[in-house]
Structure 1
Amino acid sequence: MARPGYDRAAQRIGIVHIGLGAFHRAHQAVYTDDAMAAGDRDWAIAAASLRSAGVHDQMASQDGLYTVTERSSDGEAVRLIGAIQETTVAAQAPARLAALLAAPDTRVVTLTVTEKGYWRRPDGATDLAGIVADGNSIYHYLAQAVVARRTSGRDPLTLVSCDNLPDNGRVLRAALAAFLGHQGQTADRDWFEREWRCPNTMVDRIVPAVTDADRDRVGAALGLRDEAAVITEPYRQWVIEDDFAGDRPRWEAGGAQFVADVAPYETAKLRMLNGAHSALAYLGLERGHIFVHQAVADPQIRPVVERLMRAEAATSFTAAEGQALEPYADALLARFANTTLEHRLSQIASDGSQKVGPRWLSSLAAHGGDAPATLTALAAWLRFIRTGNDASPDPRRAELAGLWADGDAASVVDALFGAQGSMAGLWRPTEAQRAALIREIEQ
């Protein structure tokens, strides 16, 4: 087992992370572990869950240590990660999170709160009313940090969103500025907009939900029980806009790329990888599959996914210089076919109303032409929300199920994508696309 290549106890906390889940532990924490192993000091992480105490309880009993197991057809590689020095639960200890965000050693905040954590309305605008009503959103803690750091004369922070949203840094920046304005904190909002940075990023690593069987297997190999174990694939990618308010970790030691424009990489990942993942989820569940590798091997599904990636998503945007999309699609299909990763389709299918916009609707809107595979996937999602699948929750579940209760396929399509539809701001189908989508739903 590979161990941290640095004196863990000697590192001061330099990063606060919000959204303590498996993806962060398999991705940003690993890159930070690499940076400190390369001699970049004082970037230890204090990680906070917003509400759930589950991961905090697992990690606190292990002094923040946990293992990452990479699985592939070549076998397994296990690594002990020491980057996370402290964990907390924001809802239970808000003062501690506030103190961490205001601390002089803190220079970077990273976030993995999923798409719904950004409080966006179906048309993509900030749901300011929802943020205010929630009372425990990322914006409450970050706004408090802006105020505390300005009044104490401390340096501004860089906020690094690591969620699958187009322009994720810009989304975060606009919503936090709006929330500060709503609170009447004009001077704080002006300082935030002038001095703080919110770079766009693209993150990629497949991280299935860990099962008790996974923990048993890791424990048998190690001779120790790891309640916070993470299972993932060997592949990882992190592309970050090079725009920081101050110091940053040397994440490039772990292979991160710092670029002037993240957009082409972000778009390729959202529309090709995430778009294909969602297609596999809804089409695969419909055909009785449980895991991604089963769905991608299905001869009825694979051609749809290949067309969605290669002929539709890949042609809906302009690639960056040197960004080869055909080999990228080949690599994605190989990763999906990894039978050693039990990546559940139900995990990918959750929160679909938050995902279909950036993954499919943006591609449909930009493509402008024939995109039958994406329409097939979209129809599968619309059939899926009709069933109200308990294993895959969605913040708009009741509303979407209500559309089916009151009408047929045509009325549901119009309620979502028609002139007054709740998702019309993301995509307005042509008459031919509308008819094709209805036909697909009714098959």
Structure 2
Amino acid sequence: MLGRKENVILVGCQLPHIDDERFQYSMEELASLTDTANGEVKLQVTQKRERPDNSTYIGRGKVEELKPLIDELEIDVIIFNSELSPSQMRNLNNELKVRIIDRTQLILDIFAQRAKSREGKLQVELAQLEYLLPRLTGIGTELSRLGGGIGTRGPGETQLETDRRHIRNRIQDIKNQLAVVVEHRNRYRQRRKRNKSFQVALIGYTNAGKSTLFNRLTDAESYEEDKLFATLDPLTRRMVLPSGYKVLLIDTVGFIEDLPTTLVAAFRSTLEEVSEADLLLHVVDSSNPDYYQHEQTVSKIMDELHADNIPMLTLYNKIDAKHPDFIPLAKGEVLQISAFKESDRFSVKRKIEEIMLKHMNEYNVGLPSSEGKTLSQLKEETILRELKFNEEQETYQCKGFIFADHPLNGEIKKFTNGDGKRSEE
């Protein structure tokens, strides 16, 4: 149970290369992130500058403007919309005498709240420690004075006040632990490959509705909430297609613009689940005015993961509440859906099956009644369209579709003459 909401001032600096609309969206997103972290935005302070101030990020005048507001509004924390350098963080702490965090720290803090698995917690702690290591000077007293709150979750406060060597040792320890987890994940992944499971990964900007769709496509109980980063740990569940064929559906962490590099590095093994998928379902929130930028952000991260060559189906979600200016711009396969509508979810499953069939070969085989195991495998591991029992020949006549590289192809070829007799090998 989270305690009282902390009072927050948001500070943004608009640079020449950022237009007014983009800057406004980024401030709104910062407010959403703050809400997710249990903060209440009391005020937004913005400034246009040619370049950030080297010393305090915002100008001297703005710093002075903030001082009386801190007491007046009983501010607990000031959150900056960009990543601050160690010296800027230190100078602002000294000037304003209140907790100062930046966008990166805020995202790390949310991840610390949301991580449930051992791997997720280790990855977040690693990212936090690597972020904080160059910023230790000058924040130790600040952290010891505060009793927790936004930007202080994760590694314990006393741990952050210890010397750099201790933190470097802890970083190495976490990396060693993660290496074991990654090895386990790789083995699990290889097993899925051997079993020829078709893997579908849900990707998308944070809060696009991936977990809502995941839960309803698989009857799972993944955490879903109208907040950013509701899902952090990847989940894998079976999904049954209209033909009865079962595929694996993977729910992934939501992406966000300017995702901290420490987090991208820390979550590399988790994100690799995406690059191993056979099909990507890119969920886009069509009700968000910045939906196109969200699409671009996801595409960029897919490029970085070398997953840009995987077939993709774009799902424009929340279509019942779509933005007035919404136009579907994605290339390739596209559906406009609401995750809450059963008919739309069925359309998604049917479309997945259509895409799969393009990559499968048709078969028509007569199996003798003694080949029960092979018949069972055809039902489970292929799309079986037709199954009839021929009483005269005592064979099961099977028609369907199978992936070209599936091991069962060898069994099927033994009975290609369709009369239930083995072909000469």
TM over 0.5: no
Class of the TM-score when normalised by the shorter of the 2 chains: under 0.3
Q: Could you state the TM-score of these two structures normalised by the residue count of structure 2?
A: 0.27
**Greater Rg over alpha carbons, structure:** 2
> Of Structure 1 and Structure 2, which has the larger fraction of its residues in helix?
1
